[in-house]
């Protein structure tokens, strides 16, 4: 049964296969396949993802602390979700508290819906309730994921639809 886990090097093979699929969709082109194939680079990437949870309030990057989790079944990487601990001006407009994606070859099987349902209590434990989740006006599938999890439409900011989703 799939579960949410902290990013770890044991998923490297499957994560890289998923990254190939994402690159075919022109997503995550900033993540270089050749570099991430080196075990030590992949270990550094995983460590950096885990460290995002501990970003300090006075961090100058403008980024807020974020818990990155991977949706896995055994050693198979299926998708990812990020819980931002608080909103800044950018996230209030686009992104919100939670962002997710399912790897292309594993879509349409309910993974995003279940992954979000599993992550919402974790967001609640961080003091987030309700969570702001946004999606592009054209992203009908993501809208269904949000609404299946109790999301209530809260208006739009340009092409981005906003929803409040209860975490408890
Ligand atoms: C949006 C995304 C996360 C959905 O992932 P998924 O695992 O395929 O989603 P699910 O299988 O849980 O499907 C969600 C709903 O969309 C429906 N759906 C899935 N694929 C569909 C398709 N091609 N056409 C129409 N409906 C579809 C499902 O039937 C389901 O609706 P239902 O619960 O009413 O049956 C995935 O497409 C993705 O990663 N996209 C790129 C990143 C992204 O857009 N992230 C969201 C940012 S807000």
Q: What is the tally of structural domains in the chain? A: 1
- Integer Cα distance of 149 and 146 in angstroms: 5
pLDDT in tens, 58-93: 677 788 999 999 999 999 999 999 999 999 999 999
Predicted local confidence at residue 58, as pLDDT: 64
Candidate from 73, 93, 103, 108 with most ligand 1 atoms within 8 A of CB, to mutate: 108
Report the CATH number at residue 72.
3.40.630.30
Structure tokens at 31: 């993540």
pTM metric for this prediction = 0.94
Would you say residue 142 has pLDDT above 70? Answer: yes
**Contact residues of ligand 1, CB 6 A cut-off:** 99-102, 107-113, 135, 139, 141-142, 144-145, 148
Could you tell me how far CA 58 lies from the centroid of its own chain? Answer: 23
Which residue do the tokens 């909103």 mark? 87
Predicted local confidence at residue 69, as pLDDT: 98
Instruction: List the domain range (segments joined by +) for residue 159.
Output: 3-165
Which of 30, 65, 62 is closest to 51 using CA atoms? Answer: 65
Would you say residue 56 has pLDDT above 80? Answer: no
């Amino acid at each position: 049964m799939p579960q949410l886990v902290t990013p770890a090097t044991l998923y490297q093979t499957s994560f890289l296969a998923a990254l190939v699929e994402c690159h075919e969709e022109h997503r995550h082109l900033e993540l270089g396949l050749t570099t991430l194939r080196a075990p030590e680079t992949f270990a550094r990437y995983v460590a950096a993802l885990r460290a995002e949870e501990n970003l300090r309030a006075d961090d100058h990057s403008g980024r807020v602390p974020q818990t990155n989790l991977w949706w896995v079944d055994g050693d198979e990487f299926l998708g990812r979700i990020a819980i931002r601990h608080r909103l800044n001006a950018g996230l209030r407009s686009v992104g919100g508290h939670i962002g997710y994606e399912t790897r292309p070859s594993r879509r349409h099987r309910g993974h995003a819906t279940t992954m979000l349902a599993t992550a919402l209590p974790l967001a609640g434990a961080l003091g987030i309730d309700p969570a702001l989740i946004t999606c592009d006006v054209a992203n009908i599938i993501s809208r269904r994921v949000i609404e299946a999890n109790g999301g209530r439409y809260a208006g739009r900011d340009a092409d981005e639809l906003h929803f409040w989703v209860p975490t408890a």
